[in-house]
A and B are shown apart, each in its own frame.
Chain A
Amino acid sequence: MAVTTTLTWNEERSLQKLLGNVSLRLLYKSSVHGNNIQNMNNKCIGQGPTITMIYLPEYTFGIFILGHYPEMGKNFKEPNNSFFFSFQKNETMKMTTAFLNSTLEITSEDLRFDFAKFQSLYISPRSEKICIPEFLEEELGLTSDLSCRYSECEVFRVEGIKDDAGYISRITEATQHRNSLLEDLRDYKPYADLVSEIRILLLGPVGSGKSSFFNSVKSIFQGRLTRQAIVGSDITSITEQYRIYSIKYGIDGESLPFKLCDSMGLGEKEGVGLCVDDIPHILKGCMPDRYQFSPHKPITPKHPAFITSPSLKDGIHCVAYVFDINSMDSLSFAMRAKLIQVQKEVLNHGVAQVALLTKVKNSNEVLENNFSKMSKSMISQSQIIIASELLGVPISKIFVVENYASEREMDPVKDILILSALKQMLRAADDFLEDLPLE
């Protein structure tokens, strides 16, 4: 007699995705192992992080517990990291979540979660009942029906969890924070409406991830992986044209109030990669979209598409130097010399400057738990310090991201890194606009 879960495959996959690509392993099933606390406890203690699923007529209710199941009679005195979620049994299969601190106790009759303000959640296996406090029902959007009788109770071990105290709040808050950033960027307006949109120029060596960054930004706003800027891993620059990319909010949404400008990669040698003399023309806004770069000579005013009288909105408002974070320790003298030349041009134009370090390996460790700034361990890394010194950019203007190049699914933490970088670039551009002399 096989023991299988009542959870549907779609529900299982939703949970796996929410929890960060974990595996669920069924440990206890009430209809097989008996509706009593003793059998439940026997099968579940000492198994690491668990999810307890309660199957009710209108929805499925779940409780994730990061620590071990407590033994009967003992309880967690300290607030336990746990969160609560539900799946609606309808077409949309909507999932709602709530992250709460609670203490957990198992008595001879009940599994009990105690919250602040003397509120409790009870699961009583013998009577097959669950009692969910009113505030939690409201938070999860459940129909009010105190002491519901459930048809099944299952407990799963969750494999693949990082043993990290901040892990639970991070995964539940990440999606919320990501969505908040999306809205901020959609609603952003340039300083004093001096221009209708901000132009951000991506400059950096071949293969540093400039075009991938644009693809990643677009993917986040589209909700699926996109490939508009073609990327590869040739030793010469894949990007040979100047591109001014506009991005829409959603598939049929309006254009966002910023454009990402992609250029040919910087080469170490003269005559390879972006011509440094092209940079002033780009910064002023004289370079037309799709201009075919030549490594040997810059654009001239005689070019048929040259923009002879660019307005403020045609120009670049922020320059982002893009580097592979793993290359910072071994940047060649030739590239450093090239950067000095480039930066000289940028400084001459007074444009805002930031640095974007790509290909970070551990997205989860870049930001503090509340996502408000880079973590101390990240700031102290040699790559950040080198970037700051070499590029003349303060650490607060250095952003670390992991572009979407290997992944097949969107990840809210990666999204947060990318969107936060973008938000800070727009702020830097605002500073530039504010600092312009009155004309």
Chain B
Amino acid sequence: MAVTTCLTWMQEKVLQNYFGEKQFSLLYKASVHGFSSKGLLERCSNQGPTITVIYAGDYIVGVYAQNNDKEEYVFITLFVFQETEISECKIGPFQLPMVFQDNFEFYVNLERKRMYISPETKEKLGLSGYISFQECEVFRCEDLLDKRRMEGVIELKEKLLSAIRTYKPYGDLVHQTRILLLGPIGAGKSSFLNSVKSIFRGHVTNQALVGSYTCGTSDKYRTYFINDGKNADTLPFILCDSLGLSETEEGLCMGDIPYILKGHIADRYKFDCTKPITPGHDNYIGSPLLKDRIHCVAFVFDANSVEHLSKEMVSKIKRIQRELIKCGVVHVVLLTHVDTLDMIMKGDLMDIYSCLPVKLKLEAVHRELGFPPSNIFVVRNYTSEWELEPVMDVLILSALRHMLWAADDFLEDLPFEETDRCVW
């Protein structure tokens, strides 16, 4: 028999978040290890903070104990968990074994699969009578973001930083990869740009204007060189920001997109929503080189609103995709604001793609917009923080590294004659 919990992902997550971003390790399961206090105490004593979960029909009665050294008297938190609601009260102090022997306030009789709760406590929790149960599980509670994991995350961040600093575009065809950010107004394109810049600078910065005006604050085409804070060297990529997409005639003109992709538009060109750039314009580059072209496109969507895009927006995105395919430009998707998805906490960012809400979101984006799930990355941009958070940095840097790899795929796929220009 497999030793796994009866808790659903959602139930486990509600409990983990309730008790402060914990991770649970199952230590004892009554139906496997025997309905006996001996079996439980042998496995669960001296294990640090524990949570005992008792399955009683359609609700759960739980015991959270901060310390479970057998000799110590401790206060415990007794809670009832039904649907997503938790009510609790503190009782004690007890020695741990007392919880599984007779006492006058609360105890669990494993052998008989019944528990007793005193009338006063029962009233506080909204329960009544003797309670029989079907299963009992005990978990160790560990901090999700403990020192050990934080050290691993910091190490991973340093590896990613180093990989990106030393990155060289495929075949040295260009010195810097150009990545274009495209997406609806308010999706977080400029925030992503600021976040990348902040990571390499070492503290939060706000060069690209960010706002939530309906017309968008980025009305110019911008090509941002990112400086490496430590060495003041320029990094091997450029992030290009454009006017946001809009359902209406505001927003980026569809006719501008081929010109951006082929490198005809110079930095700071002021977009006109109603008509594309023309060869006569001052900011028009007549004979762009490979280095002026876009090598990778990142669609940027807010994770919360991506499933509610209007038909017009979805249609526009698909038209852009066909344009990208025609130009051979590889593209990926960035979903921002991942931390605002249901149940997601900071510690979850470490293993974000394992979280159920994120999996469902990627499937939805794949279904609605057609992007392969392996080309979709989730990030959490810096918006209100003053200092860097390694778990956020790792998500951003991982996405960036995938964009650089995607650009390599684009460069590798170029016809030979289009690479000759670089020889000059």
Contacts and interface: CB of A to CB of B under 8 A. Distances in A.
A230 B366 contact: no
A71 to B, nearest CB: 12
Interface of A: 1-5, 8-10, 13, 25-27, 32-33, 42-43, 46-48, 157, 159, 163, 212, 224-228, 230-234, 238, 240, 290, 404-408
Contact of A232 (B33, B321, B409, B412): B321
A3 B330 contact: no
A43 B3 contact: no
A24 to B, nearest CB: 9
* Chain B contact patch, size range: 35 or more
Given A10-B152, A46-B33, A232-B371, A3 B405 contact: no
Given A3-B140, A9-B153, A27 B370 contact: no
Nearest to B151: A9
Given A43-B43, A234-B318, A2 B142 contact: yes
A9 B394 CA distance: 14
Contact of A42 (B25, B42, B156, B324): B42
Given A2-B49, A10-B152, A238-B325, A25 B374 contact: no
Contacts of A10: 152, 155-156
A139 B233 CA distance: 46
A27 B48 contact: no
Contact of B370 (A1, A3, A163, A233): A233
B146 A4 contact: yes
A176 B220 CA distance: 53
Given A9-B152, A224-B405, A163 B325 contact: no
18 contacts: A1-B48, A3-B140, A4-B48, A4-B148, A8-B152, A9-B148, A25-B25, A32-B46, A33-B46, A42-B43, A43-B27, A43-B42, A43-B43, A159-B3, A163-B2, A230-B331, A231-B372, A408-B374
Interface in B113-171: 140, 142-143, 146, 148-149, 151-153, 155-156
Contacts of B142: 2-4
B353 interface: yes
A407 B353 CA distance: 10
Given A1-B48, A230-B325, A406-B373, A290 B415 contact: yes
A230 B152 contact: no
Nearest to B32: A46
B375 interface: yes
A407 to B, nearest CB: 6
Contacts of B370: 232-234
Contacts of A212: 372
Interface in B11-57: 25-27, 32-33, 42-43, 46-49
Nearest to A405: B372
B330 A9 contact: no
B69 interface: yes
Contacts of B410: 228
B406 interface: yes
